Amino acid sequence: MRIRKKNWFEDEMASNRAIVKEPTEHKGHWHEFFGNDNPIHIEIGCGKGQFLSAMSKQNPDINYIGIEREPQIIVTALKKSRLAETDTNIAFFIADVANLGEIFDSGEISRIYTNFADPWHRKRKWAKRRLTHKNFLNIYEGLFGENGGELFMKTDNKVLFEFSLNEIADKGWRLHNISLDLHNSDFEGNIMTEYEERFSAMGMPIYRLEGYYKKTPL
């Protein structure tokens, strides 16, 4: 489905300080971009930015970057970021996840969020498009580098969740905080996305996991 361009799209893209127009120029220098040495967490597929905006306000000592493929979607996230113009720990850019190795140096990222990503479940051959496929996990390992890192995932799709558990386990990552019904668990501190609010209101279970990667010494 084609996404209709907002009337204020061009102005928002040009004027909002949170947008990074040429992210590849900051490879290896993202801490300089933020002006501190705080950890950098990214959300792949940040949607309209509700989750990331809330996280940035709750954790001012962490830098957050939202990544989207569709400019027409990210403009809404950008507009949300104007709600707190004094915040300096959040940024957004447009990119494909396959190109993240051209944007971040090894070790620059310590945590990745994938919330309610497209499950690509209708055809078996589409499995390679899932953000937890081993090919993408290889990319994440490169971003985490020697110090390792974390992948936090939430979804409403059981097929994608079970696939993700197997892919992450097969890669030798450690799994933790696995939930088959997040909102009826004892997990604390959950911040909901727009999709999560909708699915939860419909009575659908929310699946969640944490995957921890640490490079094994040779």
Report, as residue numbers or ranges, the catalytic residues.
118
Tokens of 172: 């030798």
Residues 6 or more apart whose Cβ sits within 8 Å of residue 76: 6, 48, 49
Contact (CB, 8 A) for 39 and 62: yes
Rounded CA gap, 131 and 121, in Å?
Answer: 12
Check if the beta carbon of residue 160 is closer than 8 Å to that of residue 118: no
Tokens of 85: 């113009």
- What b-and-e string marks burial along 23-46, b requiring 16 or more CB atoms within 10 Å of the CB? beebeeebeeebeeebbbbbbbbb
C-alpha distances in Å from residue 179, one per residue of 34, 151, 199, 218: 33, 14, 16, 33
